Amino acid sequence: MKTVAEYSLSESYIGLQFHSSSSPPTITDLSTPIPTTGTVIVKPLYSIIVQYANEIFTNGNPRGYKYPLPIVPGGSCIARIAAVPPDATSLKPGQLAFIELTVRAREDPNIKVLRSFHEGANEMTKKLMWGWRDGSWATMMNAPLESVHALDEDKLVGELGYKLEELGSLSQLVVPYGGLADVGLKPGETVLIAPATGSFSSAAVHVSLSMGARVIAMGRNETALADLKKLAEPGRVETVKISGDVEEDINALGKFGPLDLYFDISPRPASKSSHIKAGILSLRAGGRVSLMGGIPGDIDLPYWHVSYKGLTIKGTFMNTTQQAKELIKLVERGVLKIGSRAGMEVVGKFKLEDWDEALDTAAAKGGPGKSVYFIPNGE
């Protein structure tokens, strides 16, 4: 087996390591992994900090996410490939790449975890997480070969003029693409996105528009809804405020005709929100529902309406490897616009040692169209 030196890698790298969600992390020297079969070594450039990271890795983990300790968090990122394994056929050192958050078991892709965030609920997912627990809040990381997607830097940066930091939005856009693709969103269809004013739900608006759909964006934040309406020409994005009353919501949605599809990526506390039942009851016969949210409990389902109307309800957890490639192609072809030209903004970039300010900034300023990143290897 080759040594790290033979791969032109340093013997160690720096990671932001957490030993507890109730104590501060430490900047730690870690041994550099070898790019064994199926494993790529990358250097993270822009590693996303989700808005609720401070509720997972600090403050006692009030969200209750399960992960092994010690851990270096950080899932998806924009990175440079540092070394490739002997079975890599197209990836090369120096390439720009997007690294996915989701890690899938190779013998069964239905077994999957959110790398460095959540190890799942059974022994198989826990075992999978253990092998990939240290993530992108570091100067180096290993990644499954199939989760590393080379980016056409000449196209994205050279021709389309994107900054590298703007490519970080792929981390948010790829998630709703998985659900929308699973239910077969078609050009010309009308999709309800409710709620639509969170980081991932607002990303669904961008993705839906790139897929040729008309969007009905629903939420409580009227300022965020107004910003979404500006994303496209008149008539492509309509907005509805969630009222808290099912009948009122149905009446408001009815102004836009029967809906083809309802995309839901509701947060944990939303199980009793009026928008879920209203969205389902507003669908046309044969309509589809995509459920991607994080509600841990049950929801009120209009059983007779679903059966009488012949509705299809499809659950999706994250996205497939192929869907990630498709999403990247939409960006590289200029169909899906990202960055400042799409109203997206980077509101913070931090070194690993500034972790406290970084997590606070993500919580305070992150949100729809606004991203915060660690830049472990500088800019």
**pLDDT confidence of residue 326:** 98
Amino acid type, 328: I
Higher pLDDT, 346 or 272: 346
Residue 114 pLDDT level (bands cut at 50, 70, 90): very high
**pLDDT confidence of residue 300:** 87
CB 100 within 8 A of CB 113: no
376 to 49, 77, 141, 274: CA distances (angstroms):
12, 11, 11, 42
What b/e sequence results for 317-352 when a residue is b if at least 16 CB atoms lie within 10 Å of its CB, and e otherwise? ebbbeebbeebbebbeeeebbbbeebbbebebbbeb
**pLDDT confidence of residue 214:** 98
pLDDT tens-place string over residues 323-335: 999 999 999 999 9
Residue 272 pLDDT level (bands cut at 50, 70, 90): confident
How much is the average pLDDT of 121-133?
93
Taking every pair of Cα atoms in the chain, the longest distance, rounded to a whole number of angstroms, is 66
Residues 6+ apart with CB under 8 A from 162: 156, 338, 339
Helix-strand-coil percent breakdown of the chain, rounded to 5? Answer: 30, 25, 40
Residue 1 pLDDT level (bands cut at 50, 70, 90): confident
Q: How many CB atoms sit inside 10 A of residue 151's CB?
A: 21
**pLDDT confidence of residue 379:** 84
For residue 267, pLDDT over 90 is answered with: no
224 vs 76: CA distance, rounded Å: 25
How much is the average pLDDT of 68-76?
95
For residue 2, pLDDT over 90 is answered with: no
Amino acid type, 129: M
Residue 374 pLDDT level (bands cut at 50, 70, 90): very high
**In the block, residue with structure tokens 């072809």:** 333
Residue 75 pLDDT level (bands cut at 50, 70, 90): confident
Lowest-pLDDT range of 1-10, 320-329, 358-367: 1-10
Three-class secondary structure of residue 269 per DSSP: helix
pTM for the full model?
Answer: 0.95
How much is the average pLDDT of 23-33?
97
> Which alpha helices (H) appear in 114-262, and where do they start and end?
123-131, 153, 170-182, 199-210, 222-229, 246-254
Tokens (6 digits) for 335: 């169909």
How much is the average pLDDT of 161-173?
97
Which residues in the chain belong to E strands, given as ranges? 12-17, 26-31, 39-48, 77-83, 96-99, 102-104, 112-114, 141-144, 148-150, 190-193, 214-219, 237-241, 259-264, 283-291, 312-315, 345-350, 370-374
129 vs 265: CA distance, rounded Å: 24
For residue 268, pLDDT over 90 is answered with: no
**pLDDT confidence of residue 297:** 86
